[in-house]
A and B are shown apart, each in its own frame.
Chain A
Amino acid sequence: MPDSLITAAMLAVVGQAGESRTATVERGAIQRFAEAIGDGNPAYPDLAPPTFLRSVGVAIPTLPDGDSIPRVLDGGSEWAFGTPVRPGDEITFSTILQDLTERDGRLGAMVIATYLTTFVNQDGIRAATQRNTVIRMAATE
């Protein structure tokens, strides 16, 4: 019987909040993001596109023993949007590993990690939350 891909060290960090970080939203960063996604909406860069916030920085806690499942795929994302994000905003964000489950998928045995990131602006108002599903697998043979 194969061992579980999920180790005790991985399970130990489920529910733990990662480090909180703060970053300033730069007008140029919004501009580059809008150009990268090919969205010429004239509201940008005086306003950030909906999914821009992930670009202010990453605070995803490191997964212990993560080297044993190095192949990573993005499974999906659920955003809830709050107050609009504009240049000069100071966004504080932190990420918690909500859940780890293992299942056999189309691509073989995989670990599904669910992260929740909360983004709050300088006035303490929620700008967004993002729940992100990350698929991790062992290295190919």
Chain B
Amino acid sequence: MQDVSIGQELPPLVKHPTTRQLAMYAGASGDFYEIHYDKDFAAAQGLSDVILHGALKSAFLSQLLTDWAGPEALRSLSVRYRDMDVPGDMLTCKGVVVAKDDTAGTVRCEIWVENGAGVKTTTGESVVALGS
């Protein structure tokens, strides 16, 4: 906790989502909305490709935080899906510490997903507990 300072950046997490991963996530999560694996269905919705489940991007961001602070560290995770992401792109999850609560032993982090073009397609924040 003492070692963590406001402005500190979290080690980035790079993901290379594929259509295979979207199919796996559909099965594992039970979210079988066709927009995530049926390109014809996606085209009928006006999309050029299938899109990532928003919840998969939430899972990526939770991994960014648990890789840094441990698998039981998350107290809250708030995520907004601002833009769609497609398989084949490279996504980089990033975060920065924006506040510290020494009494509670927690820090608040701003977190986001950047696509290959550097656009923040998903943004959010999280409160994370840090060990002593």
Interface residues of A (CB under 8 A from B): 29, 32-33, 35-39, 41, 43-44, 47, 49-51, 54-55, 57-58, 71-81, 84, 140
Q: Is the interface of A mostly helix, strand, loop or mixed?
A: mixed
Question: Given that A36-B28, A55-B30, A84-B72 are contacting pairs, would A78 and B78 also be in contact in the complex, using a CB cutoff of 8 Å?
Answer: yes
Tell me which of B30, B46, B59, B78 contacts A49 (CB under 8 A): B59
Interface string of B10-34 (1 = CB under 8 A from A): 0000010000010011011110010
Assembly CA distance A49 to B46 (angstroms): 33
Chain A positions within 8 Å of B72 at CB level: 43, 47, 84
- Of the listed residues A29, A33, A37, A71, the one surrounded by the most CB atoms of chain B closer than 10 A to its CB is A37
Q: Which of B59-98 contact A (CB under 8 A)?
A: 59-60, 62-63, 66-67, 71-72, 74-81
A-B CB contact pairs (8 Å), 13 listed:
A32-B27, A33-B28, A35-B24, A36-B21, A39-B59, A41-B67, A49-B62, A50-B77, A51-B62, A55-B29, A75-B81, A76-B54, A81-B76
Evaluate contact between A41 and B76: CB separation under 8 angstroms: no
Asked if A49 and B66 make an inter-chain contact with CB atoms under 8 angstroms apart, the answer reads yes
Select A38's contact among B15, B44, B62, beta carbons within 8 Å: B15
Q: Does B1 contact A (CB under 8 A)?
A: no
Chain B residues in the interface with A (C-beta under 8 A): 15, 21, 24-25, 27-30, 33, 35, 44-46, 53-56, 58-60, 62-63, 66-67, 71-72, 74-81, 124
Partner of B33, one of A33, A51, A72: A72
Q: Are B75 and A81 in contact (CB under 8 A)?
A: yes
Total A-B Cβ pairs within 8 A: 101
Residue contact B44 to A78, C-beta cutoff 8 Å: no
Contact of B58 among A51, A58, A72, A84 (CB under 8 A): A51
A54 / chain B contacts, CB cutoff of 8 Å:
29, 55
